[in-house]
Amino acid sequence: GAVVSQHPSWVICKSGTSVKIECRSLDFQATTMFWYRQFPKQSLMLMATSNEGSKATYEQGVEKDKFLINHASLTLSTLTVTSAHPEDSSFYICSASETSGGVQETQYFGPGTRLLVL
């Protein structure tokens, strides 16, 4: 099946620094990529949706200037947490879809990146 990777798998950083997380589709072209955030013992919350070559669409309550998303190619999307603070500590998961045909298209999920901001 389709494989999605994330790098790094975990990162620890100091408060105020920026962290970039990469999401790659390894064996398919991802027209659409999604970024989720998961708190311990809670469900995944969609942060934003991005299509290759266009600006990301952010969910209500997600600061687009804090969580910068770039989907520059059909196999790579990046999430940059700018000026990270301890409350940004979380598990970030990306997913990718081969088409833009809607929710009936399967999303393939990456293994997630655990961010700890000290």
Does residue 104 touch another protein according to CB under 8 A?
yes
State how far Cα 89 lies from the chain centre: 14
Residues 21-50 that bind another protein (CB under 8 A): 32, 34, 41-46, 49
Q: Would you give the binding string for another protein spanning residues 57-86, x where CB under 8 A is met?
A: ------------------------------
Interface residue with another protein among 85, 100, 116, 118 (CB under 8 A) is 100
Give helix then strand counts, H and E, for the chain.
Answer: 0, 11
Tokens 């949706």 -> residue:
49
Distances (CA, A) of 65 to 4, 12, 58, 69, 113: 25, 21, 10, 9, 20
Position 83, amino acid: S
Q: Which is nearer to another protein, 28 or 82 (CB)?
A: 28
Interface residues with another protein (CB under 8 A) are 4, 6, 9, 32, 34, 41-46, 49, 93, 95, 97, 100, 102-104, 106-112
